[in-house]
Amino acid sequence: MREAVRKRVRMRARFRCEYCGLREEDLPWITFHVEHIIAKKHGGSDEDSNLALACDQCNLHKGPNLAGIDPAAREVTNLFHPRFDNWNDHFAIHDGLMLGKTPKGRATVEVCDMNSPQRQEVRSWLAEFGSD
């Protein structure tokens, strides 16, 4: 992927993971990925509109998935789509926990393993030391 594309995607995302919201500057030891929202194997393109900035953990756990199981309803639902969905409509953070506010948000939290102990610890540490 060309550097110009990476730069555009990073700037559009305001240097944050478009799934969990962590900032690149908060995790300087991690390389954030430009990922395909809809994987190429499912017909996704390399167009900017199909690319998102993702931390390593969200990208690796999401993989090519387009859907997951909402743990509350136990039903298959589409995952959060950074170009079409509003982050605040689907997610909230409380005491280091990432909360899914909708079926789509809950499924995305589960698929991306956003509440692993390590990720909760990072969010708690950032909240304690004043990072948003």
| 34-69 pLDDT, tens digit each | 999 999 999 999 999 999 999 999 999 999 999 999
Q: Is the pLDDT of residue 121 over 90?
A: no
What's the structural domain count of the chain? 1
Comparing CA positions, the residue from 26, 29, 47 lying closest to residue 38 is 47
Give me the pLDDT at residue 127, please. Answer: 78
Q: For residue 120, what pLDDT band results from cuts at 50, 70 and 90?
A: confident
Concatenated DSSP letters for the chain?
A: --HHHHHHHHHHTTTB-TTT--BGGG-TTS--EEEESS-GGGT--SSGGGEEEE-HHHHHHHTT--EEEETTTTEEEEPP-TTTS-HHHHEEEETTEEEESSHHHHHHHHHTTTT-HHHHHHHHHHHHTT--
Cβ proximity of 99 and 91 under 8 Å? yes
Q: Which of the residue ranges 40-54, 64-78, 91-105, 113-127 would you say has the lowest mean pLDDT?
A: 113-127
What is the rounded average pLDDT of the residues 89-96?
A: 92
> By residue range, what is the domain housing residue 31?
3-128
